[in-house]
Structure 1
């Protein structure tokens, strides 16, 4: 169970880094927001799901 939580946390950290860099670059680039809006929203949804899943999985560890 600990290994699963470690994988979830690592993936959450990596996705967070990608979002921290990617969203400002997307917003600063002219015309890129319209092209990649669905990708940004999908990635944010995945990040939110990872936060919830990690929290639920962490509640099972003593």
Structure 2
């Protein structure tokens, strides 16, 4: 309710894992949605375990 953002899975070639990337309007990160998405895909995809490695590039081409 009141959330109209965007979400994607980003693949890191460096470590070979996926990381959810979700934004709210204004290019703010939606961390709760990212954690929820990670919980959904963790059994099917290798996900990034180190949250400090998450991409901070909101608005970058392809995101």
- TM-score, normalized by the shorter chain, greater than 0.5: no
Name which structure has the greater RCO, CA cutoff 8 Å, separation 6+.
Answer: 1
Which structure shows the higher strand fraction? 2
**TM-score normalised over the length of structure 2:** 0.27
Greater fraction helix:
1
TM-score w.r.t. the length of structure 1 is 0.27
Whichever of the two has the greater Rg, that structure is 1
